[in-house]
Structure 1
Amino acid sequence: MLFAEVARVSREVARTSARSRKTRLLADFFAAARPQDAPVAIAYLSGRLPQGRIGVGWAALRERADPAPEPSLTVLGVDAALTELAAVSGQGAQAGRRALVQDLFAAATAPEQEYLLGLLTGEVRQGALQAAAVEGLAAAAGAEPAAVRRSVMLAGALEPVAEALLARGPAALEDFRLAVGRPLLPMLATSAGSVREALAKLGPCAVEEKLDGIRVQVHRDGDGIWVFTRTLDDVTERLPEVVAAARSLPADRFVLDGEVLALGEAGRPRPFQETAGRVGSTVDVAAAARAVPVRPVFFDVLSAGERDLLDLPCAERHAVLAELVPEPHRVRRLTLPAPEAPGAAEKAEEFFTETLRRGHEGVVVKGLEGIYAAGRRGASWIKVKPVHTLDLVVLAAEWGHGRRTGKLSNLHLGARAEDGSFVMLGKTFKGLTDALLEWQTGQLLARATEDDGHVVTVRPELVVEVAYDGVQASSRYPAGLTLRFARVLRYRPDKPPGQADTVAAVRAAHEGGG
């Protein structure tokens, strides 16, 4: 398959907001695709490189070869070129990467160059592509969308399902079952602004603590124990405490869902960054475990013995969990069989307040009848977290790619220092609508002081309200802090830069666990 086809479909999918149109485009694409092309093409359509980060910076992309007149690159050819790029290391690596990039871009047409640029810089974003891709794949192969969706959940990714389905048809879906030792995509929660709003959407429910740790899926089959992250990475060797906890349970075959977190004094969670650093540490695991011990806390069971529990109601799964996992390793919860009863909402709100006091990030309200919708944001799980916001100043912005070509997208955000200057805390391109992109591009260009072709530096005059999930230490930014999951809420033309939030306020939030 020509790479130009992937670029074309990506552009057309990005240009339409209609789900039915996206699905039709992807169905036609899959119908024309070879099975072996599908995994790589899906990664590109999702804005990912199968190789992960390949060490190509903006310096290697700034000057590009003239585009080719006609398409000739294939999907697998581009994949091979990027694999070669990722392997470059040692002395002269920068020059070697630049030469390979130039060779690749010289073989690409202008639209393909633009698409490659977006892939290499992480600017290809297609929104809810997976749902439309599942439906398009089902249509192309003559399969039931629900069956394809379930296979993707159990396989942990769309790519292997697409390759098998295009090669062998609907019968291939029988290959994808819940298997102990093979991770599946975790169920995710939707959001609500308050506990009462969440209760109003569900019938009988349970309110559980939402822990600010690393999501883990723990599998055991006899002496075999595996620990996987939310992204399905195998971290078994890094977490001996989790392996020991799994080995201590009174069963030898199960799949558990939960969180792993580091706890400090009085059982309060340590900063998320410490937990993440511990889970990510691969050097001297024993020393890391002594310095930052972690413990697993489980909230669901997906398989027990020979039983697949995914389709059981939440209440029944929890009963199995309670038999299998002792209370110290189970998430705290409040069950509300009748949330509409007098006093029920007040109990739920008290539980929420107590959870925050204990240092956790919020609650998840779960419908007692809900099944485990692996890999999706199920309607029966609703998370509620307090909203943290800051008013920050825009210091610069980066030129966008793909559908954001010609627009200033990634914002550099700063807080006010004691001397009146502004200190950068991080970047975000999240929360920007097309209309807001158009507006901010004009406003920022009117305030531009420098443009190096990638970053436009501006006078610090525009204040933007940003929501964020927390503050963490960072050596990348001058204040030593950065925001977790920052996203734009709105611009504040009513506020002058002198009224933006201060670095001291952000540091206080960090020290207070915000």
Structure 2
Amino acid sequence: MLLSDVVAVSSEVAATSSRKAKTTALAGLLRRLEPPEVATATALLAGELPGGKAGVGWSTLASLQVTPATEPTLGVADVDSAIDEVRAISGSGSGQRRAEALTGLLGRATEDEQQFLIRLFGGELRQGALEGVMVEAIAAAAEVRTESVRRAFMLSGRLPATAEAALSGGEPALAEFHLELGRPIRPMLASPADALDTALAEFTECSLEYKLDGARIQVHRDGDDVHVYTRTLREITRNVGELVELVRGLDCRSVVLDGETLALDDAGRPRPFQETMARFGAQEQREELLHPYFFDCLHLDGTDLLDLPLRDRLKALSQVAGAHRIPGVLSPAPDEAAALFEEALAAGHEGVVIKDLNSPYAAGRRGKAWRKIKPEHTLDLVVLAAEWGHGRRSGSLSNLHLGARDPDGGPPIMVGKTFKGLTDELLAWQTAEFQRRATRDDGWVVHVAPELVVEIELDGVQTSSRYPGGVALRFARVLRYRPDKEAAEADTIEAVRGMLRGG
């Protein structure tokens, strides 16, 4: 298949707001692929570089001026090989050699293909929100159940591999995916609830737990072999030796645990979130020790527990890691729930999470089996652009343009701006970082690839004709950036509108 076919479908998907139309177009292309093309084309359609990052920055891409080809000749396999070639370049002079390899690739591409490839290498297509639509398209193309595809994707963590299995082997091939020690699975997520009492009323039996101001971790142990992963499935084992040793000391042969970790101060209160995240990238021993708090057990001593109800998984968790279980209670009365909520806040945490005791582990979805409650309104939004500041902020990128995720796979939908809450340190960081990620600069506004997630505190939302989503943030201020989250995990435009109804 030619790259031009992929580009045409990608453009068709971007041009429609209909989820059904997106799914139909994607499924139609998937059916036409040859088996060796499936993984690469799936990655391209999802806006991902096949095989992951290739070490190409926007500064390199912006410097390339290549005359486009007049006719499409590039095949999907050609693009895959060219990306592998760029990724393999390293050592002295690698920047120049990458630029030369990219020039060769772009010289074989038409104008539309060039724009697609530049946005692909620059991360501008990698919004992640298209994953849900891609799952449905794979199911339609392979004529299998969507739930089978979703589960295989949960267990593999790789959409291209899931598509290959579905299109080559159908349901039996998808059923071959299972929890594999040392291969992280996509985490289950909680959806926001407005109030504790109304959220409690949604469940007949539930677990109520602290919602920590920490970072999500998933740990795998097989004998003495331990691996630790972030919520984005990035391995951080070598940076968190204290967690490795703790898990290695548990009384079991094998285990997979889901939880959070955070650094504590001398009084036992959580340190700033940024200090916890700094440990994930540390290249040397740091003073701050991480403390784990586990809230789920997905595997224990040879038995997978994903499909068991939460109550059974919690029993396994208490058995293997009871001393490190997150604080919580089972099926509390309203006064008990309120007391735990206040206790969590007094300890410096964000709030509580309510979980259905009858629910299996359904990774990668924000359903209503898990509900989170915080005392303040916050949203995780995608940074779309920033404006150059003036006065004391002259020379700094300050006023942020913020977007909510489109659940139907389109680009983020702008819902407001803010320059409040930005410390001098954050201003300096984002000025440098945004210029590195810039896709367009008109001298006043610097547009960036839609991949950075920022947590915003706000008083609420209001109807507005100024922004395409029909709503606008009220009194928004920056709390922090969320390097542990991808754009696919940002709050949706539906969640933003839901705050309007709640207000």
TM range (shorter): 0.7 to 0.9
Structure 2 counterpart SS, 1:379? coil
The structure with more radius of gyration? 1
- Whether 1:332 aligns to 2:327 is yes
Structure 1 counterpart SS, 2:221? strand
Pairwise CA distance, 1:421 = 6.0
Aligned length: 448
1:464 corresponds to: 417
The percent of aligned pairs where both chains have the same amino acid is: 39
Structure 1 counterpart SS, 2:404? coil
Quick check: 34-43 or 184-193, which moved more? 34-43
Q: C-alpha deviations, 1:72-95, integer Å up to 9, x for none?
A: 112232232233333445554444
1:360 corresponds to: 349
- Whether 1:294 aligns to 2:290 is yes
d(CA) in 2 for partners of 1:180, 1:102: 41
Structure 1 counterpart SS, 2:403? coil
- Whether 1:22 aligns to 2:22 is yes
Query: How does 1:193-342 map onto structure 2 within 5 Å?
Result: 193-281=194-282, 283-284=283-284, 287-288=285-286, 291-327=287-323, 329-336=324-331
Pairwise CA distance, 1:33 = 1.5
1:112 corresponds to: 113
Structure 1 counterpart SS, 2:267? helix
Aligned partners of 2:403 and 2:413 also within 8 Å: no
1:86 corresponds to: 87
Aligned partners of 2:212 and 2:260 also within 8 Å: yes
TM-score by length of 2: 0.77
1:46 corresponds to: 46
Shift in alpha-carbon separation, 1:159–1:66, aligned structure 2, 3 A = same
Quick check: 82-91 or 222-231, which moved more? 82-91
Structure 2 counterpart SS, 1:430? strand
1:424 corresponds to: 397
2:429 corresponds to: 476
Aligned letter for 1:21?
Answer: A
Shift in alpha-carbon separation, 1:468–1:43, aligned structure 2, 3 A = farther
Structure 1 counterpart SS, 2:293? strand
1:161 corresponds to: 162
1:32 corresponds to: 32
1:380 to 346, 358, 369: 369
Pairwise CA distance, 1:124 = 1.8
Aligned partners of 2:256 and 2:298 also within 8 Å: yes
Higher relative contact order (CA 8 A, sep 6+): 2
1:448 corresponds to: none
2:384 to 410, 425, 443: 410
Q: C-alpha deviations, 1:316-369, integer Å up to 9, x for none?
A: 221221122123x1111133356xxxxx0x543443333233222232211122
TM-score by length of 1: 0.75
1:400 corresponds to: none
Shift in alpha-carbon separation, 1:506–1:14, aligned structure 2, 3 A = closer
d(CA) in 2 for partners of 1:379, 1:469: 33
Structure 1 counterpart SS, 2:144? coil
Structure 2 counterpart SS, 1:169? helix
d(CA) in 1 for partners of 2:183, 2:376: 36
Structure 1 counterpart SS, 2:100? helix
Structure 2 counterpart SS, 1:265? coil
Pairwise CA distance, 1:414 = 7.1
Structure 2 counterpart SS, 1:159? helix
- Whether 1:485 aligns to 2:454 is yes
Quick check: 425-434 or 101-110, which moved more? 425-434
Pairwise CA distance, 1:299 = 0.3
Aligned letter for 2:52?
Answer: Q
Aligned letter for 2:299?
Answer: S
d(CA) in 1 for partners of 2:302, 2:414: 57
- Whether 1:178 aligns to 2:151 is no
Pairwise CA distance, 1:477 = 4.5
d(CA) in 1 for partners of 2:327, 2:100: 56
Structure 1 counterpart SS, 2:256? strand
d(CA) in 2 for partners of 1:424, 1:490: 26
Structure 1 consecutive aligned stretches of length 4 or more whose deviation exceeds 6 Å: 414-417, 436-440, 466-472, 487-494
Shift in alpha-carbon separation, 1:190–1:438, aligned structure 2, 3 A = closer
Shift in alpha-carbon separation, 1:184–1:76, aligned structure 2, 3 A = same
Quick check: 310-319 or 329-338, which moved more? 329-338
Pairwise CA distance, 1:257 = 0.7
Query: How does 1:140-151 map onto structure 2 within 5 Å?
Result: 140-151=141-152
Aligned partners of 1:206 and 1:368 also within 8 Å: yes
Cα RMSD of the aligned pairs, angstroms, is 4.0
Q: C-alpha deviations, 1:113-144, integer Å up to 9, x for none?
A: 22122212322256642222222222222322
Give 5+ residue unaligned stretches, structure 2.
434-451, 467-473, 482-503
